Structure 1
Amino acid sequence: MAEPDDTAGFAPHPLRRALLGELHARPFLPVETPRTFLHYGFTTDEEAAAADRAWFAEFCRAHGSAGPNAETRHHVLAFGGGALRWESHAEFTTYTWDGRAPSPVGAPFAHRREGSPFGRDFRAPGPLIVATRLDLVDADGGCSFDELFDAASLVASEIIGGGLIAATDFRSDGDGLTRILVVNRGETPQNAGAACQRLLEVETYRMLALLGLPEAQCQAPLIRRIETGLSEITAEMRTSAGLDANEALLQRLTQLAAELEAGAAASAYRFGASRAYDEIVSQRLAALGERALAGRSTWANFLARRLRPAMRTCETTVERQGNLSRKLARAATLLRTRVDVELESQNRNLLEAMNRRARLQLRLQQTVEGLSVAAISYYVVGLVGHLFEGAEKAGVPLSPGLAKAVSVPVVVLVIWYLVRRIRAHHSDTE
């Protein structure tokens, strides 16, 4: 009787299946000794990765197997007496094929691998970044590391508790492949497969981590130019005076800040990815559990001498970008403060000048109002005089001169009152 499903009736999270499968996405496959691995890595963007997924799915169907679906990022296909492993990552795609070494075995790397999928029909998904051949051989083969590798950069060490020896010189051979030799001293197929996969990952992530170095070298001249420009501006700030001079310095400083932020934004992903890849290399080497061979450098020591300086260059570039950005921000804040002070001083002077003009206008207005009252009163008194002259001629016993004299204060008061009312009305409407 089947056990009841305790999750029945629960709506699963859309990412639950992918998260459950992530821990098992790239399992270590057991391999028998002797074995040859061909490993290729290609940089791919989103469009190229989608096209490669479609091609590989069709490739799998052509060889009688189901291909990866839209969510799968790892797939293994039986091919040519071995296994073809396809892996899709954020910015690169890898193909790894392993097959039995030709018989008789002979010296490592002596035979070209026939029957691999990397022939004319293979479609490269993007620019090649990693190309590696790994030969897994028995310990009784009698091979000499000095005959197979460049002694100047040869590294060799015991791994997996001494059950395997891994050697390489990190150089490309005549076929453009970096060669890795793994000598099996009797290790199990499971451990041998896991070690070979980790060694291939070390080579892959080593190359990807180094992609940050050219970006750091490209950013270095820009950072130096901005640092020089900032030094010149801060020196000029000590003697600059006036709004125009400070605004010109602020404009130059803003331009430098914009250039720095554009460069930092363009390189942020590359430096972050290089840092992550470098950490993966360290983790893979730690998992191998290296032990030094007499007179040989270990993988970790060699990469510490060669890879670590490159990573430190990237880290230093990021630190310089951050420090320079903060210095630019402080200098810009100082300049903006000086510009604001200059603007406030100019505004204060402008307001004082406006107040002086307003007082002058008020005095002029009051003078004009007084003159207006006198002029209007003069004309009104004249009209009143004409009225009284006409009344005298009509027989009214009234002296026109006396009547005009008496009307003067009355007319002036009335005109003054009316002018005040009009001015008060205009003030209320404003």
Structure 2
Amino acid sequence: MPGLREHPLRRTLTDEVHARPYEMMPPPARGSFIALHSGEAASRDDWTAVGDLCQRYGVSAPPEGASHYSVDLGPFRLRWERHTEFSSYGFLKYGAFAAPFADPVIGEVPSEWLASLPGEALVAIHVAVEDRRGGQRDLAELAPLFSGNTVAGSVVAGGAAKAWTDYRLHADGFSRLLVEDLDLRVRQVGRLVQRLVEIETYRTLALMAFPEAQHYGQAVTRIDEHLAELTQRVTEINNLEDEQRLLLELSRAAAEVERIAATTEYRFSAARAYYALVTRRISELREERVQGIQTFNEFMERRLAPAMRTCESVSDRLRALSYRVGRTGSLLRARVNVALEQQNRDLLESMNRRARQQLRLQETVEGLSVVVLSYYSVGLVGYLAKAVKASGAPIDTDLVTGLSIPLVIAAVFIGVRSLRRRLIREETL
């Protein structure tokens, strides 16, 4: 692109469209597929394990940071894919075989290497692809291949193949999947096998949420009943202390709801995503019914769909419960706030009354102070007049004392008032 600047993600995004291609599986072919749940932090360990296996057989290891790899190791072909929380490994072998599940490919994989893989086995499937263009198995021939278990299956890929499984674990811990090629192209075989394996893988991963739904469903019911009781009590209490105690109980219930929601949110969200993938992969099979046999879609509708509805129900109840707890808490907090505001108003009114009483008392004390000070001041004036008269001045002491009374009272009143104003001014600074 001369003269154009390329976006740094352009090539990565273009390559992502072509990532994880289907395997070419010319029938007859067999495979053993396992999915190990290792969490989101184990991608480096998976990459290292795949590199170790490649080194054993003298082939190139996957590039640094790869999340999928397919390589021929000689005795078998390896297909590895790293997903968000699990890794899948496929071990494939092409060529004729005597019986579909008598000699599984995983028997040729080094056992010590398998034991060293990070994570725990969640899915394990033996797959056999038969070329049945010359003739098809009848239902009686299918039964021994699945240990006499009830078989589910259908005509798939627009009539180009048949697929059968019993969705059970056999003595070796693996389930079994048989594909009869009636008119498939080589690439269609690999695509069909991958879809069938993914249906089983995503079905199992989706069901990981079911035990949590069963466990926490009881807790949700208990909290729901407790919330109904608390809501009823909201209408019955009539004092602030009970309201505050009830608000504390509501806060505890809210904390419990949020704890459960935080614990289950990832698993429930993952279950919804995995279930959507299962339904999509089944629709891509383009099933046609075989008389008397349960189809893949019917099996999932009867077995997986109810479990997913249970998970969805618990998730919905948690969301509704969180909303109800919050709404009830808001209502109760509003009542508590109103009660506290009323208490504050009562307290302020009481303080105002006391302030007015203190003001009246202060004014009374000021009046008494003026009287007392005036009384003693007039007495001092009388003593002063007597002293002047004793010195020979011709004055009437009683007249002087009497005339001084209004002057003394006025002077004392003005002095006390001035003092009070000065004190008030100093307090406000």
- TM-score class, shorter: over 0.9
Match runs of 1:125-144 below 5 Å: 125-139=118-132, 140=134, 143=137, 144=141
1:180 paired with 2:181, answer no
| Contact in 2 for aligned 1:154/1:167 (Cα 8 Å) | yes
Match of 1:414 in 2: 411
| Contact in 1 for aligned 2:157/2:286 (Cα 8 Å) | yes
CA-atom RMSD, angstroms? 2.0
Identical aligned residues as a percent: 38
* Alignment partners' CA distance in 2, 1:328 and 1:314: 21
TM-score, normalised on structure 2? 0.92
| Contact in 1 for aligned 2:131/2:182 (Cα 8 Å) | yes
Tell me the amino acid that sits aligned with residue 86 of structure 1: W
Tell me the amino acid that sits aligned with residue 153 of structure 2: A
Match of 1:85 in 2: 79
Tell me the amino acid that sits aligned with residue 318 of structure 2: Q
| Contact in 1 for aligned 2:25/2:94 (Cα 8 Å) | no
* Alignment partners' CA distance in 2, 1:117 and 1:303: 32
Question: SS where residue 67 of structure 1 aligns?
Answer: coil
Tell me the amino acid that sits aligned with residue 135 of structure 1: A
Q: Greater shift after overlay, 311-320 or 41-50?
A: 41-50
Decide whether aligned partners of structure 1 residues 322 and 151 sit closer, same or farther in structure 2, where only a CA change above 3 A counts: farther
Measured against aligned partners, the alpha-carbon deviations of 1:246-285 in whole angstroms (never above 9, x if no partner) come to 1111111121111011101110110010000000011111
Question: SS where residue 154 of structure 2 aligns?
Answer: strand
Match of 1:280 in 2: 277
Q: Greater shift after overlay, 56-65 or 406-415?
A: 56-65
| Structure 1 counterpart of 2:7, from 1, 12, 17 | 12
Tell me the amino acid that sits aligned with residue 336 of structure 1: R
Decide whether aligned partners of structure 1 residues 382 and 38 sit closer, same or farther in structure 2, where only a CA change above 3 A counts: same
Match of 2:250 in 1: 253
Decide whether aligned partners of structure 1 residues 208 and 56 sit closer, same or farther in structure 2, where only a CA change above 3 A counts: same
Decide whether aligned partners of structure 1 residues 153 and 329 sit closer, same or farther in structure 2, where only a CA change above 3 A counts: farther
| Contact in 2 for aligned 1:137/1:183 (Cα 8 Å) | yes
1:230 paired with 2:227, answer yes
Match of 2:92 in 1: 98
Offset, 1:199: 0.7
* Alignment partners' CA distance in 2, 1:60 and 1:428: 93
* Alignment partners' CA distance in 2, 1:119 and 1:17: 39
Measured against aligned partners, the alpha-carbon deviations of 1:40-66 in whole angstroms (never above 9, x if no partner) come to 111122332222223323443454444
* Alignment partners' CA distance in 2, 1:296 and 1:53: 41
Offset, 1:356: 1.6
Tell me the amino acid that sits aligned with residue 231 of structure 1: A
Match runs of 1:9-408 below 5 Å: 10=5, 12-13=7-8, 15-101=9-95, 103=96, 105-113=97-105, 116-122=108-114, 123-139=116-132, 140=134, 143=137, 144-149=141-146, 153-408=150-405
Question: SS where residue 90 of structure 1 aligns?
Answer: coil
| Contact in 2 for aligned 1:76/1:84 (Cα 8 Å) | yes
Offset, 1:187: 1.3
Measured against aligned partners, the alpha-carbon deviations of 1:207-253 in whole angstroms (never above 9, x if no partner) come to 00000101101111110110110121122223211111111111111
| Contact in 2 for aligned 1:157/1:299 (Cα 8 Å) | yes
Decide whether aligned partners of structure 1 residues 404 and 306 sit closer, same or farther in structure 2, where only a CA change above 3 A counts: same
Q: Greater shift after overlay, 37-46 or 211-220?
A: 37-46
Offset, 1:151: 5.6
Decide whether aligned partners of structure 1 residues 152 and 135 sit closer, same or farther in structure 2, where only a CA change above 3 A counts: closer
* Alignment partners' CA distance in 1, 2:30 and 2:271: 29
* Alignment partners' CA distance in 2, 1:75 and 1:69: 9
* Alignment partners' CA distance in 2, 1:70 and 1:387: 115
Offset, 1:185: 1.4
Q: Greater shift after overlay, 15-24 or 168-177?
A: 15-24
TM-score, normalised on structure 1? 0.92
* Alignment partners' CA distance in 2, 1:341 and 1:42: 57
Q: Greater shift after overlay, 299-308 or 399-408?
A: 399-408
Decide whether aligned partners of structure 1 residues 384 and 54 sit closer, same or farther in structure 2, where only a CA change above 3 A counts: farther
* Alignment partners' CA distance in 1, 2:395 and 2:168: 133
Offset, 1:339: 1.5
* Alignment partners' CA distance in 1, 2:259 and 2:221: 15
The gaps in structure 2 that reach 5 residues or longer are: none
The gaps in structure 1 that reach 5 residues or longer are: none
Offset, 1:353: 1.6
Count matched residues.
422
* Alignment partners' CA distance in 2, 1:66 and 1:390: 131
| Contact in 2 for aligned 1:385/1:404 (Cα 8 Å) | yes
